[in-house]
C-alpha cells in the first residue's frame, strides 16, 4: 500500500489572521495530483488539520465547503492534533502492519509536550481554551488576541519550543515497539534512521501544509521506502515534470 501523510494544514476561514493560506480548490487539485502521480492508496492527515483554537468548526466548514465535502473520501484517515482535538472525527493514532509484521505508527506528536502530554497540562490547556471561547463574546478582546497571534506568526512560524530534540527523544521511545514512527506538530520535515536490536528504525516528520507550503511523506508500507515531499504552491504541469521514486 502506498500512503501519503500530510499534516498541520491549520484550515481556517481564510481571513487575514490565518496561516492556512490555500485556496481550497488549489489544495484539492494538489492532493489529487499527488495521488495520481504516486498511485496513492490512502491519504493520512496527521493532526492539526483544522485551526480550532481560534475558530469554530462551523465557521471553518462554511468557509471551505468544497474541502469539507472532499474530506468525506473513504480513503482519507484523520488523526487528532492539539489544535483540532475537539474535532468530531479523528483518531488518536493510526497503525499499519505490513505482511512482514513491520509496524508503522502515525500520530501527531503533541504528547511530547508538557501541556498536551500530561493530564495536568491538558487540564490547564482546556481551561485556557474555554477562557478563549468566553473571550469571543468581546470584539475588543478577540481583536487584541488575533493581533498577538498575527504578530507571533510574523516573527516565527515554528515556535521555539517545538524546534527541539525532545520530539526526537519521544520518537525513539516509540521506535522500541515500532519499525517506523511518523510524527508532525513541529512543522519541520525530518528523516532520521537508527538501529535497535539489529533492526533498522525510521523516524519521520511530515512537516506542514500551511502558509502555502505542500510538505508530506509518501511511503510504500511494504518496503518502507519513502520520499519527503517539499514544495511551495506549484502548477499541475510543474508537478508532473518532477522526478520521483519511493
pLDDT tens digits, 99-134: 999 999 999 999 887 655 555 555 655 566 566 656
Fold of 2-113+156-240: Purple Acid Phosphatase; chain A, domain 2 (3.60.21)
pLDDT of 18 strictly over 80: no
Q: How confident is the model at residue 204 (pLDDT cuts 50, 70, 90)?
A: very high
Question: What was the pLDDT predicted at 103?
Answer: 98
Listed range (89-93, 129-133, 204-208) with the worst mean pLDDT: 129-133
Question: What was the pLDDT predicted at 53?
Answer: 78
Question: What was the pLDDT predicted at 245?
Answer: 44
Rounded Cα distance between 4 and 244, Å, is 14
C-beta separation of 106 from 171 below 8 A: no
pLDDT tens digits, 44-86: 999 999 988 778 899 999 999 999 999 999 999 999 998 887 7
pLDDT tens digits, 141-197: 656 655 555 554 444 344 455 556 888 999 999 999 999 999 999 999 999 999 998
Closest CA to 224 of 246, 241, 207, 208: 246
Give the Cβ contact number of residue 197 at 10 Å. 6
Rounded Cα distance between 61 and 190, Å, is 31
Q: What is the 3-state secondary structure (H, E, C) of 124-180?
A: HHHHHHHHHHHHCCCHHHHHHHHHHHHHHHHHCCCCHHHCCCHHHHHHHHHCCCCCE
Amino acid at each position: 500500500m502506498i500512503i501519503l501523510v500530510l499534516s498541520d494544514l491549520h484550515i481556517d476561514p481564510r481571513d487575514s489572521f490565518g496561516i492556512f493560506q490555500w485556496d481550497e480548490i488549489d489544495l484539492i487539485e494538489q492532493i489529487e495530483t499527488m495521488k495520481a502521480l504516486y498511485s496513492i492508496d490512502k491519504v493520512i492527515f496527521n493532526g492539526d488539520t483544522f485551526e480550532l483554537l481560534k475558530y469554530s468548526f462551523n465557521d471553518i466548514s462554511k468557509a471551505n465547503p468544497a474541502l469539507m465535502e472532499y474530506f468525506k473520501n473513504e480513503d482519507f484517515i484523520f488523526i487528532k492534533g492539539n489544535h483540532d482535538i475537539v474535532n468530531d472525527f479523528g483518531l488518536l493514532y493510526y497503525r499499519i502492519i505490513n505482511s512482514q509484521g513491520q509496524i508503522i505508527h502515525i500520530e501527531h506528536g503533541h504528547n511530547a509536550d508538557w501541556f498536551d502530554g500530561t493530564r495536568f497540562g491538558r487540564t490547564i490547556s482546556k481551561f485556557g481554551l474555554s477562557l478563549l471561547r468566553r473571550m469571543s463574546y468581546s470584539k475588543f478582546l478577540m481583536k487584541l488576541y488575533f493581533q498577538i497571534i498575527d504578530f507571533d506568526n510574523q516573527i516565527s512560524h515554528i515556535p521555539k519550543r517545538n524546534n527541539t530534540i525532545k520530539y526526537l527523544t519521544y520518537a525513539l521511545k516509540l521506535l522500541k515497539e515500532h519499525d517506523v514512527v511518523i510524527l508532525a506538530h513541529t512543522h519541520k520535515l525530518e528523516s532520521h534512521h537508527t538501529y535497535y536490536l539489529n533492526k533498522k528504525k525510521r523516524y519521520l516528520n511530515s512537516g506542514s501544509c500551511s502558509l502555502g507550503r505542500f510538505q508530506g511523506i509518501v511511503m510504500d508500507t511494504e518496503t518502507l521506502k519513502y520520499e519527503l515531499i517539499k514544495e511551495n504552491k506549484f502548477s499541475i504541469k510543474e508537478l508532473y515534470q518532477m522526478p520521483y521514486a519511493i
